[in-house]
Structure 1
């Protein structure tokens, strides 16, 4: 679907798709149920998306439910803590879990999920630009690597290990990324 194009009730459709995916799983999700929940005709959905996978891929990348603002707390540590908090909330949302569970064996959905996470994390690059301007971060720092460290640790901790990420855990994670974990050498 081209940018700016789509049905008038696109956000309602995306919300319905993600809610129903959460409630019934991928196999229980139907175009008819999405149309009914969104209050549109199923022909509207088929006009814009040829399959359930196409509609879900569009919902993953275009739903306002999965948006979050770029952090600007005035410090790199505060911004990274805000990024980690947002990401933790995103990863533990039932809709996110349902999408991730639906990805295996569905290349279109996998591609959309990858684009979603890459796009959301790339949007945090101003955090690093501001930190360089404030003198908190070296100009040659690798912003992508810092984000990978945060996101990868959270992904592993929350989704693979079944852990939780309270404020204390997130602060320890951010501090470890910022200062490293090895003993300082003179």
Structure 2
């Protein structure tokens, strides 16, 4: 991994936000390290010293701007945990994230490095955190470990984003996701 010694946490946060803003504006394929450097008043050398590549920087920006500690949420019920996860974001972030995800899904088909970086830095860690929330529900006796839907919780939640975009031509908001959790995810899990 590249050496990351010169940037303050505040400066890194600024860079990540700028990367996501640019990504939303121009899409992944048109996003360049030159554009990121210009937007953030950085040098390309600084960017490459901190992150080896554009895929790594984009994946890290997505990872670092998500709400922290989802696996530590424990309200005492699975529904409460899902609702607490949603409480840690807002509708404008959900709209931006769904737009970014839609664009990135296209890009991963043509860019294996991006696919690998997203899986390594975003998808797998988020799935592990979500699995921890579900395991606690199993441990509390809320859902059966033998329920076949347990392995598809992440799939159902990601599906909610894309279904809302494709079927309804709308970005998912918290109210929609809460309804989806209550109508689809929890019943599938036997809650």
TM-score relative to the length of structure 2: 0.69
- CA distance in structure 2 between the partners assigned to 1:68 and 1:158 by the alignment: 25
What is the aligned-residue RMSD (CA, Å)?
3.5
What is the aligned residue count? 178
Structure 1: runs of 5+ lacking an equivalent: 182-186
Q: Which has the larger radius of gyration?
A: 1
1:72-151 superposed matches below 5 A: 72-83=74-85, 92-93=95-96, 94-115=99-120, 116-141=122-147, 143-151=150-158
Deviation at 1:48, TM superposition (A): 3.3
SS in 2 for 1:26: coil
Match in the other structure for 1:184: none
1:10-35 deviation line (CA, Å, top 9, x unaligned): 33322222211112223442222212
1:1-186 superposed matches below 5 A: 1=1, 5=4, 7-8=6-7, 9-61=11-63, 64-70=64-70, 71-83=73-85, 92-93=95-96, 94-115=99-120, 116-141=122-147, 143-152=150-159, 154-161=160-167, 162-163=169-170, 164=172, 167=175, 170-180=178-188
Structure 2: runs of 5+ lacking an equivalent: none
8 Å Cα contact 1:20-1:29 kept in structure 2: yes
8 Å Cα contact 1:92-1:158 kept in structure 2: no
1:37-88 deviation line (CA, Å, top 9, x unaligned): 2232221112234443343243334xx2233442433211222344577799
